[in-house]
Amino acid sequence: MSDIFLGECLVMENREVAAGTFLLRLEAPAVARIARPGQFVMVRTGPSPAKGTSPLLKRPFSLHRIGSGGEIDLLYRVVGEGTSLLSQVRSLQGLEVMGPLGRGFEPPDPLPRAYLAAGGVGLAPLLALAETLAGSTETILFYGARSDDDLVSAPYLELFQCRVLLCTDDGSVGFHGPVTEPLAEVLEASPAPVFACGPRPMLARVAELAAGAGVAAQVSMEANMACGMGACLGCVVQTNEPAYTRVCLEGPVFRAEDIQW
């Protein structure tokens, strides 16, 4: 707990990378130094408390990229008041940040082959993971969204340094349907651990497919969070043992078989 940074970080960049999806780069050496893929930060999206209090609560965002130069990237989708304010933030402004928080992905070592499954902005935590796997693990990213416009661009996806299979709900690009359909086929032909982030129904299906293929799956879960550090119990999910578990402290990454879907 003592290593968790709380303070103001300088905004280095904040730009739209897909429709309604932004990339925020922060100078955060104290976070980047110790952060692991799958962990998250809480960000105060509004003005400093001296200038106003809305929205009062910080918002949780996965670490999209953990830079060796002390920067961290967040990939976020505008969905409400906090993320809308965040999208208006300019370079050289300061934002209050707390982190790194939670438990991240724990890929087995060695890991010859892995599948990453991302639904929409669920892509966020998987880049940091893909970067740690690059070079040692044959990785395929299954990345889906509603439509072509909602996907980050092909050149951006080169950062993952792996094979990418695109899926869209409307069939505007790639496979016409959810990422779990091609994932099911690949898992049957060549089973390997799965790491996933996205909407809950997608994660539930990933859990089912992984169990059927006899492989492990680790899923990054979402929940509304007030404190981000285990105190408010606002973020619990139903698990097998114990019955309720905090996403912010024991997660956000869980073994898929531990969740009560």
Is residue 60 at the binding interface for ligand FAD, with CB under 6 A as the rule?
yes
- The interface mask with ligand FES, positions 186-205, x = CB under 6 A, is --------------------
Pick from 127, 227, 256, 259 the residue near ligand FES by CB under 6 A. Answer: 227
CA distances from 60 to 40, 104, 228 (A): 7, 14, 7
- Residue 213 CB, nearest distance to ligand FAD (Å)? 26
Pick from 106, 232, 257, 258 the residue near ligand FES by CB under 6 A. Answer: 232
Residue 226 binds which entry of ligand FES, ligand FAD, none, CB below 5-8 Å type-dependent: ligand FES
Specify the residue for token string 């299954």: 142
Is residue 230 at the binding interface for ligand FES, with CB under 6 A as the rule?
yes
Q: Which amino acid is at 49?
A: P
Residue 75 binds which entry of ligand FES, ligand FAD, none, CB below 5-8 Å type-dependent: ligand FAD
Is residue 4 at the binding interface for ligand FES, with CB under 6 A as the rule?
no
Residue 40 binds which entry of ligand FES, ligand FAD, none, CB below 5-8 Å type-dependent: ligand FAD
Give 160-166 contacts, CB < 8 A, sequence gap 24+. Answer: 160/116, 160/126, 160/127, 160/130, 160/131, 160/134, 161/130, 161/131, 161/134, 161/135, 162/116, 162/130, 162/133, 162/134, 162/138, 163/139, 164/140, 165/140, 165/141
Backbone angles phi, psi at 165, to 5 degrees: -115, 110
- Residue 218 CB, nearest distance to ligand FES (Å)? 19
- Residue 139 CB, nearest distance to ligand FAD (Å)? 20
Residue 150 binds which entry of ligand FAD, ligand FES, none, CB below 5-8 Å type-dependent: none
Pick from 46, 82, 182, 193 the residue near ligand FAD by CB under 6 A. Answer: 82
Query: Which residues have CB under 8 Å from 190's CB, separation 6+?
Result: 113
Pairing of strands 175-176, 163-168: parallel
Residue 61 binds which entry of ligand FAD, ligand FES, none, CB below 5-8 Å type-dependent: ligand FAD
Where are the alpha helices (H) located in the chain, listed in sequence order? 29-32, 81-86, 124-133, 154-157, 180-189, 200-213
Question: Which residues sit at the interface with ligand FAD, rule CB under 6 A?
Answer: 40, 55, 59-62, 74-77, 79-83, 121, 124, 222-225, 247, 252
